[in-house]
Chain A
């Protein structure tokens, strides 16, 4: 038999199909990066002489075993927590050297003196659900972020971004070093204005 070459199937378009798939996977797969709420635990050593903190400077948040949120011993909905926390931090009720010139709160004498003094104390029960705890943490961080954003846009309108965006840009390894230097300064100024003083008490045992 004369060996005729069999009619070849045109495989030219196969590459196109494969390329299409390749590009699809290249675009859609993101190498997973986790994100979450960063926290710093207090060191183990006992504080021998705990500083005396005035009652009005503490914002007590308790999450009980039924996942109810109690702020200053009153039941509160999660939706109102952010607003209340902002009002507390931004109060600026202090006088003379304790006054806060950038606070826009009500300057209530029975609430916090200034953001530097204001402490949010978070206490949870052993029976509290983790997701409720995270929601509360999230709202409290949101309160700080809201105030920091406000001050950042007020002080540095030329940056044209919020504090959170600036912080994100600062921690992005792709950002230029000179830009980072500039941002670092501004971020630390804002952090000093509204330092995150979030204290977590050890949970009490459910009796």
Chain B
């Protein structure tokens, strides 16, 4: 037993935990940065309308996004306040939609090319004319599965 007796004033050597916070902070920063990934910087106002009969749209690799709405306030003096289409990070016209969808489709893996959904993220204030035009373009390129992306909520919030 005397073998384990403390010798003199020699204290038990402490394991330094000083680096533990660093490790944890590293993890913390990773999660803080990684979880708020946004694919596109929005150039438009995008308040989605509310609906409650919704289906989830998971598997992001099978989705093509099309945004539409009024340009945000800082772009309005340049682009006006009429609703516009945004594809990737640029404003586009209706005529560009078909080519964009085809390009996006071609970039996907072959086995996914038939199961793609086009998600329309359109601001609630937009007029249906623009959306009908987009839909016509989508029909032309045979991208028939669409999803009107909404917020989850009661329709009364749309008034």
Q: With A and B bound together, what is the CA distance between A19 and B24 in angstroms?
A: 6
Q: Which residues of chain B (57-86) have a CB below 8 Å from chain A?
A: 57-58, 63
A36 in contact with B127 (CB, 8 Å): no
CB contact under 8 A between A142 and B147, given known A36-B119, A203-B132: no
Q: With A and B bound together, what is the CA distance between A124 and B132 in angstroms?
A: 9
Q: With A and B bound together, what is the CA distance between A14 and B25 in angstroms?
A: 10
Name B142's contact: one of A38, A44, A133, A164 (CB within 8 Å). A44
Name A38's contact: one of B31, B127, B145 (CB within 8 Å). B145
B21 in contact with A11 (CB, 8 Å): yes
Contact-residue size bin, chain A (C-beta under 8 Å from the other chain):
35 or more
For A78, list chain B residues within 8 Å (CB): 155
Q: Does A181 contact B (CB under 8 A)?
A: no
Q: Does B32 contact A (CB under 8 A)?
A: yes
Q: Would you give the shortest CB distance from B62 to chain A, in whole angstroms?
A: 12
Q: Would you give the shortest CB distance from B68 to chain A, in whole angstroms?
A: 9
A18 in contact with B126 (CB, 8 Å): no
For B117, list chain A residues within 8 Å (CB): 38
Q: With A and B bound together, what is the CA distance between A171 and B53 in angstroms?
A: 15
A126 in contact with B129 (CB, 8 Å): yes
Residues of A bordering B, CB below 8 Å: 11-12, 14-15, 17-19, 21-22, 25-26, 29, 31, 33-44, 63, 78, 124-135, 137-139, 141-142, 145, 164, 167-168, 171, 173, 202-203
